[in-house]
Amino acid sequence: MMKICLVRSAFILTIFALAKVSGCKDSFMKATLVRPTGRKIKKNCTWVASRPSTRCTFKHATDFCPETCSDFEPDCESDVRARFKIPFIGWRRCIWVSRQPILRCAIKGISNLCRATCGSLPTSAPTMCSTDALCGADVATTYGPLECDPSGLELMLLDQYSHSDDGETTDVMVRLYGPAEVTQAAALVIVAPHGGDLEPTYMTTRTTDDEVYCPEDDDCVVSSDSYTKEIATKIANSVIENYCKVPYLVINELHRSKMDANRERPEATFDDPEAINAWQNFHDFIQDAQNAIQSQFGTIVNEDDIEGIIGILFDVHGYAGYDWDDSDGGKFIQWGYRLSKETLDQDPSTGHCPVDSDLADSSTRGSFTHARALPDQSLECQVRGPQSLGQRMNELLPMTSDAMCGASLPSFDYQDPKAISSNALYCGDDDGTCHYYSGGFDLEVHERHDWESISGIHMNTVQAELPRCLRWATDESRDTVHDEVANNLSIVLCSFLRDLFGADANTC
């Protein structure tokens, strides 16, 4: 029996355990069906439904598509015997699920196929939070690319911070790009804080274990996020090509060993005067871009009376992820909204399910404080529903020969970062837990108009940690993969903006 309690515009949903798995539903996956001739074919229930009188007679079709084949006496109690294809995992049978039922029955769609295996789990155990129930009917609009002429539009250098020696510029440390005219702007700020490679000898070199500046419980990070500067630039140019709008782009040219733009000033600069100037200008340039977007697109007040700029800030990072895979690194794009994996934990017993209920008494937690209370919006759905940035990216896979490379976490396919990061299917770390990046300093301070005091009107901010398989790819494929990633992200970001603020806002 399922008990549902709906509160606050149907966004707070508490679900108690199911006494019985409901398995008499068509699957969305493909399965291996067998024609009367004995020939095996790989089809889904949509294909079966187009000619049910004939195709429901194929072996396994009735049990795999019990709704479509309801006239053929489907068995809704037993495990299906056909092989089925789990997105990004591959072809499996229910015997595979039975080896780790608690983990594998939680994969979307599995309990609908492995009915006996998943139905035998203890009924007192809490089910996963029903993101499907909250957000499953949402439809994400894919906007563009448009049929427009981008000729005459380009990223213009609007400002820069440089080191001068005897009045002559020697090193450009921070750059701000954008449209020649604000009327050409997209409502998008793209930020690349860790992709620079400039290492001036006249600046202090940051180290990992400085006792004064590094956190007591952790090291300072001094390695760069390779190729993120290049990918960020390509994203900006893809927005121009696809939508004839010019986003703003802020790039830190300094290597992270000289200045970390995504940390508070002492740790970021080691109090080096030149690093302090570069750090200050980096964040001032982001504010300049936000001011320009506000002047062009304006603001909107949400249902919590919070005023926010119509637009989004997209912070581009990269991670190695050798705890996920010790040879190739992690494969997920990790989307960060300043919501920890504990906050995104879908176990109802934690009180974080759905994420809207966990934040109900917090007006400024997370980086979508403004977006989550816009009309007809839910943070649960924005972060991991069908309209989320992550799921939109999943719909554009694959981007490399590895279908799993670039899958998004969180997303509608991979909803729970805590569960995924401790699942041996994905995490290869010896301690059984892999790292999830939820967002850092840039997202926190630039979610507000006055970044230095973290006050004023809001702007929605999000971070993407790109995996090595997208950033490094191979020497032969790197440029092509970067182009594909940039093109897809431009479509994802502009489509998300359009669904969030409406077509009339003309954000992209």
The residue ranges of every structural domain in the chain are 17-125, 130-319+337-415+435-508
**The length of the chain, given as a count of residues:** 508
Beta strands, E only, 44-131? 84-86, 90-92
Place of tokens 């001094």: 222
Report the alpha-carbon distance of residue 278 to residue 178 in Å, rounded.
19
The tokens describing 13, both together, are 């949903």
Pairing of strands 185-192, 246-252: parallel
Torsion of CA 411, 290, 445, 335, to 10 degrees: 10
* Cα distance between residue 321 and residue 404, in whole Å: 14
SS3 (DSSP) at 361: coil
> Which of helix, strand or coil describes residue 449?
strand
Task: Print the SS3 string covering 327-353.
Answer: CCCCCCEEEECCCCCCCCCCCHHHCCC
- 3-class secondary-structure state, position 41: strand
Residuewise pLDDT in 10s, the chain (508 residues): 222 222 222 322 222 233 234 468 899 999 999 999 989 999 999 999 999 999 999 999 999 999 999 999 888 889 998 889 887 667 788 887 887 677 678 777 888 899 888 887 654 333 445 677 778 778 888 898 999 999 999 999 999 999 988 777 789 999 999 999 999 999 999 999 999 999 999 999 999 999 999 988 889 999 999 999 999 999 999 999 999 999 999 999 999 999 999 999 999 999 999 999 999 999 999 999 999 999 999 999 988 889 999 999 999 999 999 999 888 899 999 999 999 998 888 876 666 667 776 665 555 578 998 998 888 888 889 999 999 999 999 999 999 888 889 999 999 989 999 999 998 888 988 888 999 999 999 999 999 999 999 999 999 999 999 999 999 999 999 999 999 999 999 999 999 999 999 999 999 9
Residue-level pLDDT at 121: 67
Residue 155 confidence (pLDDT): 98
How does DSSP assign 115-176, residue by residue? HHHHHTS-TTSPPPP-HHHHHTT-------------TT---EEEEEEEEEETTEEEEEEEEE
Are the beta carbons of 339 and 332 closer than 8 angstroms?
no
- Identity of the residue numbered 255: H
> How many whole angstroms separate alpha carbon 479 and alpha carbon 474?
9
What span, in angstroms and rounded, lies between the C-alpha atoms of 312 and 205?
Answer: 33
In angstroms, the CA 360 to CA 234 distance is 38
What the block records as the tokens of 48 is 């079966």
User: Is 173 in a helix, a strand, or coil?
Assistant: strand
Can you tell me which residue has the tokens 């403004």?
A: 370
**Residue 430 backbone phi and psi in degrees, to 5:** -60, -35
CB atoms < 10 A from the CB of 412, how many?
Answer: 24
d(CA 136, CA 22): 17
